[in-house]
Amino acid sequence: MSKWVKHNGIIRTQGLCGDFINFPSSTAQQTAEALEKLDGILTEARLQWKHLVAITIYIANISEENFEEMNGVYDKWVDPEGLPTRLCVEAKMGHGAGVKIRAEAL
């Protein structure tokens, strides 16, 4: 699987997740690890968080608690001066992943 692609100045990535295979991990932890991967991709692409234009967050169990955990981590990463459009939905994922992320930056 490709990590990200670039075309016409747009970076696309999806399927970013934390490590949920080796041990149970919280929504906060998996969100943090997925967003660290996104941060790495932005860096590779010589972009910053303010260049993020769209982010979709899939959570396996969107309880109020998990939703707040995710938001707490999310708010630390995004740039208030360049907030992306955002969508967050619950979705069960293969092999028990708790969080996955899709994003576009330009």
Report the residue from 7, 22, 23, 24 that binds its own copies according to the rule CB under 8 A: 7
CA distances 22 to 32, 49, 53, 95, 96, Å, are 16, 29, 32, 11, 11
14, β-bridge pairs = 102
Report the residue from 42, 53, 72, 76 that binds its own copies according to the rule CB under 8 A: 53
Q: Is 1 near its own copies (CB under 8 A)?
A: yes
52, β-bridge pairs = 105
Counting every residue, how long is the chain?
Answer: 106
Q: Is 45 near its own copies (CB under 8 A)?
A: no
**Per-residue contact string for residues 14-33; x = within reach of its own copies by CB under 8 A:** xx------------------
Rounded CA separation 87/28 (Å):
17
Where does this chain bind its own copies (CB under 8 A)? 1-5, 7-10, 12-15, 53-54, 56, 58, 62, 64, 67, 83-95, 100, 102, 104, 106
